[in-house]
């Protein structure tokens, strides 16, 4: 005799509407896409067109600000932190900001080390400066 009895039941399914957050996610997607296209256009314009150096710095600053805006939306919408209480948001955002600060500090320190690493060698400038061709007058930058 079969010890397992097989019961069959009709499957009951209910059609459900997409969550209300779907519209919010798509709106965020299009916003992030628009910001990314603007960033790319600004970045390409720095290479395709000649412009003064202050304009390059300005465009780089705007690109950084737009990137921070994208990060805000990604954290707020896709990581669902926009709906959390303030203490939870601070628990995640403050260490993240410290991590960004650490990266900046390490880059700054590394650059300082790179620029100072050979200042103690008295023959450093002599070895690294270009030698003039025989019979050519040596050019000094301060002349």
Domain that holds residue 76: 25-83
Across 108-115, average pLDDT: 83
* Dist CA 110 CA 88 (whole Å): 34
* Dist CA 82 CA 28 (whole Å): 13
Query: In this predicted model, what pLDDT tens digit does every residue of 4-41 receive, in sequence order?
Result: 666 677 777 776 666 677 888 788 889 999 999 999 99
68 and 97, same domain (yes or no)? no
Domain boundary residue, one of 64, 83, 102:
83
pLDDT at residue 6 in the model = 66
* Dist CA 98 CA 142 (whole Å): 43
Query: In this predicted model, what pLDDT tens digit does every residue of 68-87 receive, in sequence order?
Result: 889 888 888 777 777 788 88
91 and 108, same domain (yes or no)? yes
* Dist CA 53 CA 56 (whole Å): 5
Number of domains the chain is built from: 2
76 and 29, same domain (yes or no)? yes
114 and 64, same domain (yes or no)? no
* Residue 64, in any domain of the structure: yes
């Amino acid at each position: 005799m079969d010890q397992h009895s097989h019961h069959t039941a009709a499957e009951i399914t209910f059609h459900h509407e997409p969550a209300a957050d779907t519209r919010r996610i798509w709106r965020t997607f299009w916003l992030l896409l628009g910001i990314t296209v603007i960033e790319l256009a600004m970045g390409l314009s720095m290479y395709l067109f000649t412009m003064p150096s202050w304009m390059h710095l300005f465009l780089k600053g705007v690109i950084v600000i737009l990137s921070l805006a994208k990060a805000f939306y990604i954290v707020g919408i896709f990581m669902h932190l926009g709906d959390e209480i303030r203490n939870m948001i601070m628990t995640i955002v403050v260490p993240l900001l410290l991590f960004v600060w650490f990266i900046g500090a390490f880059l700054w320190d590394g650059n300082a080390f790179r620029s100072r690493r050979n200042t103690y060698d008295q023959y450093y400038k002599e070895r690294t400066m270009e030698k003039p061709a025989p019979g050519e007058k040596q050019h000094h930058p301060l002349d």
